[in-house]
Amino acid sequence: MKTIKAIERPALRDQVYDSLKKAIITLELEPGQRIKDKDLAAVFGVSRTPVREALKRLEDEGLVESLPGSQTRITEIHLEEAKNAFTVVAALHSLAARLAVPVITNEDIQLMEVSNLELRKALEEKDVIRAVEADDQFHAVLLKASRNDEIERALDRIMPKVRRLEFSKFSSVDAYQSLEEHQAIILASQKKDSALAGSLVEENWLSLGRILVGEVDSDLNNG
């Protein structure tokens, strides 16, 4: 597997958790796929304890579910959950932008521009993982500048539902539209217009949600 590799450093539980979460979000571990802690422990090169602890955290976040007979399965992508998640994600990112713009620095603006250029390159090369990472980096600038850790903590639990849907439908999304929306956010940030920046960030996420939810195949609608 690309994401799941043997771990040699300490903090095994957290590393196993991070690796499994990424594999689930990127659909390397597919919705509905059954997994066994014994097999995962062998792949990671660790005991079953950190794997079980990581799976418990992922279950709490709704990314895996326990089945009878001590089996575990990756949860399906539920349309209604993803739809609701986009609304919350848009509101939280908008709040972060409103808090960030009054104190945003030139270095922050440059980071946003670099991230948007990286997003363009990834789209041109059809590199899905790199594109999503560049998008995350763009919005992370505003999140960090907002200086509100509670927003980031809330997003950590919600974003996987959004990103899984995005990975499942990425090829059908006109992601180039997001580049233009990002540029408008950068300009609003440069002008220190927090209200406009917040509104643009919110629409950036809501428009993506409308595209993805509107184009999701009927077999994903298990909610």
Averaged pLDDT for residues 132-137: 93
Which helix (H) or strand (E) element contains residue 184?
A: helix 176-190
Whether residue 102 is predicted with pLDDT greater than 60 in this model: the reply is yes
Q: In angstroms, rounded to a whole number, what is the distance separating the alpha carbons of residues 102 and 190?
A: 10
Q: For residue 221, what pLDDT is reported?
A: 45
Percent of the chain with pLDDT over 90: 70
pLDDT in tens, 47-96: 999 999 999 999 999 999 988 777 899 999 988 888 899 999 999 999 99
Q: For residue 5, what pLDDT is reported?
A: 65
Burial class (CB in 10 A: 0-12, 13-18, 19+), 74: buried
Q: For residue 2, what pLDDT is reported?
A: 67
pLDDT, mean over the chain: 89
Q: For residue 1, what pLDDT is reported?
A: 65
Highest mean pLDDT among 95-104, 120-129, 153-162: 95-104
More confident residue, 2 or 35: 35
Alpha-carbon distance values, 112 to 71, 86, 105, 141 (Å): 43, 22, 11, 7
Alpha-carbon distance values, 20 to 51, 56, 158 (Å): 9, 12, 16
DSSP 45-112: TS-HHHHHHHHHHHHHTTSEEEETTTEEEEPPPPHHHHHHHHHHHHHHHHHHHHHHGGG--HHHHHHH
Burial class (CB in 10 A: 0-12, 13-18, 19+), 112: buried
What interhelical angle do 149-169 and 128-146 show, nearest 10?
A: 160
Q: For residue 8, what pLDDT is reported?
A: 53
Q: For residue 171, what pLDDT is reported?
A: 61
Q: Does residue 65 come out as left (phi exceeding 0), alpha (psi in the -120 to 50 range) or beta?
A: beta
Whole-model pTM: value is 0.84
Q: In angstroms, rounded to a whole number, what is the distance separating the alpha carbons of residues 91 and 93?
A: 6
Whether residue 220 is predicted with pLDDT greater than 60 in this model: the reply is no
Highest mean pLDDT among 33-37, 56-60, 67-71, 182-186: 182-186
